[in-house]
Amino acid sequence: MVVSPDGFTTLSSAPKDVWFLDGSLDPMKPLCLDSLLKLGGRELDTSPPPKWTTAMGLLVTGSQVPWSQVMPSVAYKSFVKNIVKSVAETIDALPKEYYRDVWCPTGQLLAGLKAARVESSLYKDLVGAAERDSGALETFRPGPGGFLSPVVYDRFATRTGRLTVASGPNILTLKKEYRKLLKSSFSDGTICSLDFSALEARIILAEAGAEVSDADLYSSIAEDLFQGRIDRNTVKTAVISELYGSSKHALGARLGLTGRKLDEFVETIHKHFRTGDLRKRLKEDFIRSGKIRNKHGRLLELDDPQDHLFVNTYTQSTGVDVSLLGFKKIIDDLGIDGVRPLFVLHDALILDVRGDRLNDVEATTSVFVPGYVNKFPLKFEKI
């Protein structure tokens, strides 16, 4: 059924460029109104009036009700017109640009992930030796030929858009040492990963207009800001504390710094990242609209508007989009001949690579992401 403000009709196939009310009917369709509504923080009630749902609830369970055949024609037309009216009143305020430029291409990346293969004998050994596990190992139980079902991610389960696994192998909670059970589907292949380095810190630096492309970001900051007087790990600890809202005194206790030395160190990091400026802008957005937006325009709820949560929420959500957009660009550039994308593990992409393509993957040391001037460095690792 195709509906518009002018009426509705039934066709054998959908025209181009129409919004699908329920994207689950075909997840590859580019215009899913249900997803767009969720991104805008809106809900659309598509249930008929209670007099009809109550009556049918007594007769039908566990299946979709063909309301066009159940309801009287006049009542059904009124029901459909109310849905159309609700959509027409809200669609202009929904984040269609974010949906088109970010959500759809990154959704294509996730929909294109392939079935991973597991070493069956190693799986049995790991299961037998595992004393405690989150349950993730069970989701890697091999099927025919050692293959798993492709992973399916839920993109709405967290407020920042950080992925969770809806079905399939739960790579997100699998212990790192268990990843070795992944086996290439190629006779000479390799399981490997491309990983963004210090992604969230680079996102904040980009907001401050600073360079983000140094391969070892924390060593670079230690040298530029402190001329090597403070080591890389200390700088990393301070930066992470700055991003996630740890108190200055807690940081000082961890680093063994007090008094003036601690104040000067924290102030130097604070000025370099300019988190105060970003926090101020985000708070102004929140006061104005009740929400904040990440770098690419995704609307973000903030139920508990504490100061450190503004920067943390913005950074984590932007990191999700940067990772997925970057991985989409990598797969587009590499092509799928001999390169099988298997999993997204937050800011890492796990690949199954044929022997003759491994050098191409290893040579992918950085990636341009829309919205940023500098490339983001990548780290290659064999699993």
Residue 87, domain member (yes or no): yes
The residue among 332, 343, 325, 328 whose CA lies nearest residue 114 is 343
Q: Do 187 and 324 reside in the same domain of the chain? A: yes
Q: Evaluate whether residue 228 is within a structural domain.
A: yes
pLDDT of residue 85: 86
Whether pTM > 0.75 for this model: the answer is yes
Per-residue tens of pLDDT for the chain, all 383 residues: 887 777 778 888 878 788 888 765 555 567 888 899 999 988 888 888 888 888 777 666 556 788 888 899 999 989 888 888 888 888 888 999 999 999 999 999 999 999 999 999 999 999 888 777 668 999 999 999 999 999 999 999 999 999 999 999 999 999 999 999 999 999 999 999 999 999 999 999 999 888 778 889 999 888 888 887 888 888 888 888 877 767 777 778 777 778 888 888 888 888 888 988 999 999 999 999 999 999 999 999 998 888 888 999 999 999 999 999 999 999 999 999 999 999 999 999 999 999 999 999 999 999 999 999 889 999 999 99
In this structure, are residues 114 and 342 in contact, taking their beta carbons and an 8 Å threshold? Answer: yes
Q: Which residues of 37-71 are buried (b: 16+ CB within 10 A; e: fewer)?
A: bbbbeeeeeeebeeebeeebeeeeeeeebebeeeb
The answer to whether residues 63 and 10 belong to one domain is yes
Same domain, 209 and 353: no
Please name the amino acid found at residue 268.
T
Q: Is 320 helix (H, G, I), strand (E, B) or coil?
A: helix
Do 161 and 321 touch, CB atoms closer than 8 A?
Answer: yes
Domain boundary residue, one of 307, 326, 357:
307
Q: Mark whether 205 and 234 lie in a shared domain.
A: yes
Q: Which two tokens stand for residue 235?
A: 């700088």
Domain assignment present for 274: yes
Q: What is the dihedral of CA 365, 370, 371, 376, to 10 degrees?
A: -10
Q: What is the pLDDT of residue 183?
A: 97
| Pair (298, 208) in one structural domain | yes
* Structure-block tokens of residue 101: 């430029």
Examine residue 100 and state whether it is found in any structural domain, yes or no. no
Phi first, then psi, for residue 149 (nearest 5°) are: -75, 150
Q: Which of 79, 94, 109 is the last residue of a domain?
A: 94
Find the CATH number of the domain harbouring 334.
3.30.70
Q: Does residue 163 contact residue 345 with C-beta atoms inside 8 Å?
A: no
20 touches 14 (CB < 8 A): yes
Q: Are 147 and 155 in contact (CB under 8 A)?
A: no
Residue 113 inside a domain? The answer is no
End-to-end CA separation in angstroms for the chain: 48
User: Do residues 19 and 81 both lie within one domain?
Assistant: yes
DSSP state of 11: -
Look at residue 162 and tell me if it is in a domain: yes
Alpha carbon distance 314, 328 (integer Å): 21
Predicted local confidence at residue 23, as pLDDT:
64
Q: What is the predicted pLDDT for the residue at 343?
A: 98
Rounded to whole angstroms, the Cα distance separating 350 from 323 reads 12
Q: Rounded CA gap, 379 and 122, in Å?
A: 27
Residue 280 lies in a domain: yes
Q: Write the CA distances from 359 to 168, 334, 356, 363, 365, integer angstroms.
A: 30, 11, 7, 6, 11
Domain of residue 193 covers: 119-199+317-382
Indicate whether 331 and 182 sit together in one domain: yes
Written as one letter, the residue type at 123 is Y
Give the side-chain half-sphere CA count within 13 A for 127: 15
pLDDT of residue 134: 67
One domain, residues 355 and 260: no
220 with 127, same domain: the answer is: no
SS3 category, 300: strand
Contact present, 309 and 349 (Cβ < 8 Å)? no
Are 57 and 150 members of one domain? no
Are 192 and 327 in the same domain?
yes
User: Is residue 277 in a domain?
Assistant: yes
Q: How far is CA 249 from CA 147, 255, 264, in A?
A: 50, 10, 13
How many structural domains compose the chain? 3
Q: Count Cβ neighbours within 10 Å for each residue of 13-29 and write b for 16 or more, e otherwise.
A: eeeeeebbbebeeeeee
Residues 299 and 217 placed together within one structural domain of the fold: yes
State residue 81 phi and psi, 5-degree precision: -60, -35
Among residues 59, 94, 129, which one ends one of the domains?
A: 94
Pairing of strands 190-196, 292-293: unpaired
Length of the chain: 383
Bridge partners, residue 20, by sequence: 32
The structure tokens listed for 66 are 């063909």
